[in-house]
Structure 1
């Protein structure tokens, strides 16, 4: 009985991953906000001095990248918390723990916005977020490449099509998995 309790209590080691994920999410959101503010500053300088807008677009693409990574980390952290920590503690134990507080958490299952109820769904979500981040990275890299010949244009189209197809396939896998 004691060994079983010790093994079950090892699930709390996931708190390290959860804390790291949530802290990483906060850092990504802060970085994204700073990039957006920097792009606004560049925009106003661009208007007054007649500068090119490519740097501003680059900053906004980086901000979107940071926000997407932050969102993926947030969803992953909340999903891991609910799957490993929260789902195995009884609600009476939680209510007794927080009876003095005005905040009583009621997370019995993962929130609907997290979209995950198992580790496999968490992997699909993270994989989808990574593919979206890679898609943004591909488009960011490709905007710096000059399209001189028809072959350059064909390679550009093929790379965009391939990365978009990967995102489509992942979304279909997620849809099939959630329908089962």
Structure 2
């Protein structure tokens, strides 16, 4: 029994997403190691330059979140398009004879394209939230109004993510 052509082409998206995920996780780990090196350099020189350390950690969080989004997308695409279907018997593998996944992982929670879009949308919103915080590191907070605007923007973006998560649970 041959592999349908659309399932074969979907493997490119799955492989690209999973490889991109690995690259993001490696980049995040390198940023965390760089932040440790910077922290120990600050301690040894008795400097008070923690802003660069915070910047490195925010970039690491961003890389980890992007890697997680790519991982969820890749596994979701695999489960929906390449994974077990009625055309594959229980004894056969479903990845060109190399791998068999009886059931999708519980953390995936995707059974349709709509659910995949929702999961990726949530991940993108979280990445944008980290980006908002990253942009504020370069803005000096001189007056009380600056601090109030900063707090209001963080509250607003966090409230948007909260509302988005509540809308998702009601659907």
> 1:164 — aligned with what?
158
Q: CA deviation at 1:107?
A: 3.2
Q: CA deviation at 1:53?
A: 1.4
**Pairs aligned (count):** 166
User: Does the 8 Å contact 1:124/1:170 carry over to 2?
Assistant: no
> 2:19 — aligned with what?
23
Q: TM-score, normalized by length of structure 1?
A: 0.82
Could you say what the CA RMSD is over the residues aligned between the two structures, in angstroms? 2.2
> 1:174 — aligned with what?
168
Residue 10 (structure 2) pairs with residue 11 (structure 1): no
Higher helix share: 1
Give the whole-Å Cα distance in 2 for the aligned partners of 1:105 and 1:53: 48
**Aligned match for 2:109, one of 102, 106, 115:** 115
**Aligned match for 2:124, one of 124, 130, 140:** 130
3-state SS of the aligned residue for 1:112? Answer: coil
1:44-64 CA deviation, whole Å, 9 max, x = no partner?
111000221111111111111
Alpha carbons of structure 1 residues 173 and 137: separation in structure 2 relative to 1, 3 Å = same
Q: TM-score, normalized by length of structure 2?
A: 0.86
> 2:71 — aligned with what?
74
Q: CA deviation at 1:128?
A: 0.7
User: Does the 8 Å contact 1:18/1:78 carry over to 2?
Assistant: yes
Give the whole-Å Cα distance in 1 for the aligned partners of 2:164 and 2:80: 22
Q: CA deviation at 1:117?
A: 1.6
Residue 40 (structure 2) pairs with residue 44 (structure 1): yes
Decide which moves more: 75-84 or 137-146: 137-146
3-state SS of the aligned residue for 1:76? Answer: helix
Q: Which of structures 1 and 2 has the larger relative contact order (alpha carbons within 8 angstroms, sep 6+)?
A: 2
Unaligned runs of 5+ in 1: none
- Ranges of 4+ aligned residues in structure 1 off by more than 6 Å: none
> 1:94 — aligned with what?
93
